[in-house]
């Protein structure tokens, strides 16, 4: 039985649905650390809040996903030297339990 647009004929079941807004991603918070300088030439510094109960895991990756640095810290100032890698884009990932933060850094030529 043909029907007009927007009108549901009597012999059809009612269709119910819900609309969800957003992308289903958790709200992103500001990173828990500071990284400077950005861009950098040879090395950069990460400032992390001091912790007593658990460690941070710090990792640095290149654009291809290769891990260049991995270390743990309870906080404070950490200097990371990437003087032996080419100029380009790198990612610093800091984990503390379930809290994962990532920031992009740019290495420039001297």
Asked whether the predicted pLDDT for residue 83 surpasses 80, the reply is yes
Residue 27 maps to a domain: no
> Would you list the DSSP string of 5-36?
TT---TTSPPP------S-SPPPPPPPSSEEE
Residue 72 maps to a domain: yes
pLDDT of amino acid 12: 47
Check residue 24 and give left, alpha or beta (phi > 0: left; psi -120 to 50: alpha).
left
Residue 21 maps to a domain: no
Which CATH number fits the domain that encloses residue 62?
2.60.40.3080
Q: Which tokens go with 104?
A: 């992009």
Taking residues 24-48, report their average pLDDT.
81
Residue 1 maps to a domain: no
Spatial distance between the Cα atoms of 110 and 101, rounded to a whole number of angstroms: 28
Spatial distance between the Cα atoms of 91 and 104, rounded to a whole number of angstroms: 5
| pTM recorded for the entire structure | 0.69
Q: Which tokens go with 96?
A: 């503390």
Asked whether the predicted pLDDT for residue 9 surpasses 80, the reply is no
pLDDT of amino acid 14: 47
Taking residues 79-104, report their average pLDDT.
93
Q: How many domains does the chain have?
A: 1
Asked whether the predicted pLDDT for residue 41 surpasses 90, the reply is yes
Structural domain containing residue 66: 34-107
């Amino acid at each position: 039985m043909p029907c007009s647009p927007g009108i549901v004929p009597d012999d059809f079941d009612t269709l119910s649905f819900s609309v969800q807004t957003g992308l289903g991603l958790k709200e992103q918070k500001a990173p828990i650390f500071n990284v400077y300088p950005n861009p950098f030439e040879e090395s950069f510094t990460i400032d992390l809040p001091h912790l007593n109960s658990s460690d941070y895991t710090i990792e640095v990756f290149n654009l291809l996903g290769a891990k260049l640095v991995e270390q743990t810290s309870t906080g404070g100032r950490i200097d990371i030297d990437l003087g032996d890698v080419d100029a380009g884009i790198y990612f610093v990932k800091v984990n503390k339990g379930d809290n994962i933060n990532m920031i992009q850094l740019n290495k420039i030529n001297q």
